Structure 1
Amino acid sequence: MSQTDDENNIFLTGRIPVEYATVGLSHPPTQSGLPILGNTVAFATDPFGFVRQAVETTGDIFRMRLLGKDVYVLAHPDYVGSALLDRDTFAKLDDFEVAFGDALLSAEGEQWQRQRHAMESFFSPTHIGEYAERMGAVTASRIDRWDGGQTLHVDEEMRTIALANLFEVVLGHSPSEAELEELAESAHALNLWFKPTSWVLPDGVPTPARRQFHRGREELRDHARRLLGESGATPDDDSLLDTLAALRDDPDSEFDEEEVLDQVVGMVFAGHETTALAMTYSLYLLGSNPSAAERFYAEVDATVNGVPSLADLQDMPYLDRLVDEALRLYPPVHAIPRVTTESVEVGGYTIPEGAQVLLSVWNMHRDSRFYDDPLRFDPDRWETTTPREKGHAYVPFGSGQRICIGRHFARLEMKAVLTAIGRRYRVNAVEEVSVSPQMTSQPAGAVPIRITERD
């Protein structure tokens, strides 16, 4: 096709061919799009579908042309691994600071190292393992309120269970039922900053999602202030909240009031939101796959007698595979955003300094090049391989130095909660779930699950 033909095609169709968009450029190629709007409409209305199609037709690295900005997408384990391991070149977006201030989720450099060092002992496998039975007991007390035969919105139930576990186990606080509901609603609103229909717009454009985000952010910070106000200055080895309060009050710690407040806000969000989603999708997958569910129930019955212990949870290989597969098929963080601090070459193309980059976890986890029959829920795919062996084709918790500090907590909680539920109830999915990507992989609506008592 000649350049004149291309120009006529643009005039007649309003779409820019990939070849025309990339001639003579060292930047990654782009998908065809609309004049001025570029890829904005296609990405905002169907982010997963757009990325999948772009990878299939354009390649594992491409450029999205959104309103007022270019966003670069990496969708191959080699490229994603390079970005995750090079945290000097691929830094956190300012969007995280908007949501979490100077929390561990958004901090960089020396500040991040200081914060990580202050909190990492709480999230070591050995320390977290001590709380397996408490997690199971917290869950059991909440599911005692369920009635066999009812249909639950399991997404809401998992949010409150995850919050209760976070507060009881990590923060050393027993919230009231009303407090749990308020915290869950406020924290959930932080997702909306990354809602595609708002995220593609310039920051100054007010949208309903952004207004709800700001309201939820302030409510969550108010909750955090009250929690810190109730914490003593003497650190309790079992309470991260008391330890953070002590750091705030120690003039030699370099933690001031606002930085400690940011840690609590970040911990309340990150410490429950992603785990709640992982448990929601795990129960949905069990409720949609009877043969997998029966194997899970059989393993629970053969292993657990009472509240599951750490030893019980470590002796359930099918449960481990189930968790690995749920995190593959429905990763709670669908894409990892970064910004380049300098010009960098990836896959033979140049990404300029200051560019926004999305690492597409969702697309890699569902790519047939890396997984056989990738859309099928198959825990047994992990019988002959491990997540580690999959390398950066499996990154539900990220990778490198900035790998999620709470990953051991999240996996243990998933296993404890699923086991406590599986001992007592059988789950059945009522309808197919769809996902609405925001900061996390949110379900597009409520996730109804019908529960029945097991004999």
Structure 2
Amino acid sequence: MLGNTIAFASDPFGFVRRSVESTGDVFRMRLLGRDVYVVGDPDHVETVLLNREAFAKLEDFEVAFGDTLLSVEGEQWRRQRHAMEGFFDPTRIAEFAETMVDVAESHVDDWSSGREIGVDDEMRSIALRNLFEVVLGHSLSATERDDLAADAHALNNWFKPTSWVLPYWVPTPARREFRRGSDRLRDWARSLLDDAQDGPDEESLLATLATLQDDPDSEFDRAEVLDQVVGMIFAGHETTALAMTYALHQIAAHPDIADRFHAELDDVIDGRPSFADLRELEYAERVIDEALRLYPPVHAIPRETTERVDLGEYEIPGGEQVLLSVWSIHRDSRFYDEPLAFDPSRWEDTSPRERGYEFVPFGAGPRICIGRHFARLEMKATLAAIGRRYRLDADDEIDVTPQMTTQPAGPVNVRVTDRN
């Protein structure tokens, strides 16, 4: 009955790594009487992500976000993607660089030498400010940011391993926190939509969504638009905040990497970072890629088979849950030399595109993350703005735990030194 439940719940990442090494690229684990299939091979991941007929999204995403871009399928997904993809076009994203730099610089104004900061909390606040000021056309007070971050963060509890292995009807403390956070997040979304109707910022994505709910030809009703806002609030800041947290922590923990990072900033940027400056920051780009590899914010991509499928020599029945282990692939010595080392130089002679499905922090295929260009620009703008003014130092390694996203197991603290 218990099967692999205790081993998986107590050490999910370790269990998956050991199982891939000892069993193979596709293995079945037993969790309280149900089977979950785990995939740890890039070729098989490609098959799954491209075959959308045989591999569908899990019900868990609908529970967490409703009928949002993160959870729907087929024509509904295409309609939603089409409604929002114009806002995230790479040519338009460039217009947001200065605002992103402003957000980061103003946020860190009160940092001072000798101070210890929780970089995870700081990055979550910066990411929320970018989401609201750039994407949703709405400003938040510091208190509102803290409250909203807590509510959005609570959605992770649905995928907490000790709860996720249990049937949906079991009322665990994590699921109660999830419900409370989800309800409050929907209250936020309703308020935002109402404000957008009263006085919309016509350039914002929120204004676009508010217009859709009033357009009889759009096929969007208020409930579906509300789901988009909820999904955007979570996905639009949580993963980016985590990526920036891990990148800054690794810079702080490796003085040699910090030296190269700061030297490039000093060489390229004279004054306030511009979009042209950010494009020239090649080493910072490698630091970001390496952080996304070693600490992918989305550690696994879940799917469910709609029919019996074959992955190479492996067969998976229909109606079964499948986890594509991004974490395992990114840390596999078959694909990366010294995979557990944080080494930005590994990206000097290769690129994420050349790595293909060996590097999938944003997913891949037709359903690749719509906000990936926005997120990467935000990461670089934030790291550049902080690195120009401060040097960070960290003594401890970082421990992580899988929830909906790859969460730090505790506070991520670094010391700040003013470079000026």
Same fold at TM > 0.5 = yes
Q: Letter of the 2:294 partner, please give it.
A: L
Would you say how many aligned residue pairs link Structure 1 and Structure 2?
420
Q: Which residue of 1 aligns with 2:414?
A: 449
| 1:135–1:416 contact (8 Å) kept in structure 2 | yes
* Higher RCO structure (Cα 8 Å, ≥6 apart): 2
1:132-163 deviation digits (Å, cap 9, x = unpaired): 01000011111002222110111011000000
Match of 2:383 among 407, 410, 418: 418
| Unaligned ranges ≥5, structure 2 | none
Match of 1:70 among 29, 35, 56: 35
Match of 1:225 among 187, 190, 195: 190
Q: How far apart in 2 are the matches of 1:185 and 1:162?
A: 13
Q: How far apart in 2 are the matches of 1:85 and 1:237?
A: 35
Q: Which residue of 2 aligns with 1:242?
A: 207
- SS of the aligned residue for 2:376 comes to helix
Match of 1:108 among 57, 67, 73: 73
- SS of the aligned residue for 2:134 comes to helix
Q: Which residue of 2 aligns with 1:136?
A: 101
1:347 CA displacement:
2.2
Deviates further, 430-439 or 441-450: 430-439
Q: Which residue of 2 aligns with 1:156?
A: 121
1:302 CA displacement:
1.1
Q: Which residue of 2 aligns with 1:383?
A: 348
| 1:92–1:106 contact (8 Å) kept in structure 2 | yes
1:233 CA displacement:
7.0
Q: Which residue of 2 aligns with 1:399?
A: 364
Deviates further, 235-244 or 322-331: 235-244
Q: How far apart in 2 are the matches of 1:270 and 1:318?
A: 26
Q: Which residue of 2 aligns with 1:274?
A: 239
- SS of the aligned residue for 2:353 comes to coil
Q: How far apart in 2 are the matches of 1:249 and 1:393?
A: 43
Q: How far apart in 1 are the matches of 2:249 and 2:200?
A: 40
TM-score by length of 2: 0.99
Flag the structure with larger Rg. Answer: 1
1:236 CA displacement:
4.8
Q: Which residue of 2 aligns with 1:409?
A: 374
Q: How far apart in 1 are the matches of 2:78 and 2:418?
A: 48
Match of 2:334 among 339, 356, 369: 369
Q: How far apart in 2 are the matches of 1:416 and 1:151?
A: 22
**Structure 2 residue 168 is the aligned partner of structure 1 residue 203:** yes
Match of 1:427 among 392, 396, 403: 392
1:305 CA displacement:
2.4
**Structure 2 residue 163 is the aligned partner of structure 1 residue 215:** no
Match of 2:220 among 242, 247, 255: 255
- SS of the aligned residue for 1:381 comes to helix
Instruction: Give the 5 Å matches for 1:341-380.
Output: 341-380=306-345
| 1:159–1:273 contact (8 Å) kept in structure 2 | yes
Q: How far apart in 1 are the matches of 2:178 and 2:141?
A: 24
RMSD over aligned Cα atoms: 1.0
Q: How far apart in 2 are the matches of 1:256 and 1:235?
A: 18
Q: Which residue of 2 aligns with 1:332?
A: 297
| 1:233–1:242 contact (8 Å) kept in structure 2 | no
| 1:76–1:364 contact (8 Å) kept in structure 2 | yes
| Unaligned ranges ≥5, structure 1 | 1-35
Q: Are the structure 2 counterparts of residues 340 and 65 from structure 1 closer, same or farther at C-alpha, using a change threshold of 3 Å?
A: same
Runs of 4+ that moved beyond 4 A:
233-237
- SS of the aligned residue for 1:449 comes to strand
| 2:3–2:33 contact (8 Å) kept in structure 1 | no
